[in-house]
Amino acid sequence: MPPSSPELARRFAAGDSILTGWISLPEPLVAEACVRAGFDALVVDLQHGQVDVASAGRIISGIRYAGGRAILRIPVGDYATASRLLDAGADAVIAPMIETVADAETFASFMKYPPLGSRSWGPTRAVQLSGGTPEAYRTSANGSTLAIAMIETLTALDNLDGILALPGIDGVFVGPSDLSLAISNGANLDVNAPEAVEAFKRIADAAAKAGKIAGIYAVDPEHARRCFAMGFRFATLMSDLGYITSGAKAAIAAVGR
């Protein structure tokens, strides 16, 4: 297997900021192509995308084979799948709709081995992809695999500091569309609304204060630049469907058709 980029946990600990891609299609070759295009890591979406657990395992292998790192978003409340994805070699898992400290504690319990959590042992594929021994994986996994809680409701905002304070939670991820809907009481889906931007900045600042990482979905390159300027440590840019569509449109336009 070709050498992989450094572990995400090590890069974040070193102070790096990372631009990631977003994968919604259940085809490993698409994910592999996105890594080869220049993304160091990809978020693979099992919540709203077409990816299931079986295709996710193949996508993780494709990402790692291409030299990238894999972040997986699980469906709402499907914490058992978080453990399965870690066993398949995921570097991080994003859990949507984490609203309370109790939600975050449950998520962390499936993500971390004792004493931080109660993750069950069985990381066969993860050990293979790590290139090390089972014992080396066991002793390093709690620090090298990241549990990231999504903050996308007003309740989650109210509980932000408590969620960030949990030892088993490594960071938070902003769902800007849902959070902007919540802040406007359903009136607007606008990630650039002043009230939404203020909330995003508050989340980034709170994560930094807690010594945790903060990520966000960026709808376009300019939005990604603003998010990094706000202090977010990683941003996911658009999606695989967007890359294919925009590339096709640009090629067609270049032909003059």
Q: Is 223 a catalytic residue?
A: no
Active-site residue identified among 10, 36, 48, 225: 48
CA distances for 144 relative to 8, 46, 58, 69, 112, angstroms: 7, 21, 21, 12, 10
- Phi, psi torsion values for 145, nearest 5 degrees: -105, 130
Helices (H), the chain: 8-13, 28-37, 53-65, 79-87, 101-111, 124-130, 134-144, 154-158, 160-165, 176-183, 194-210, 221-230, 240-255
Q: Which residues pair with 41 in a beta bridge?
A: 20, 69
Interior angle at CA 30, CA 25 and CA 32, nearest 5? 130
Q: Which residues are catalytic?
A: 48
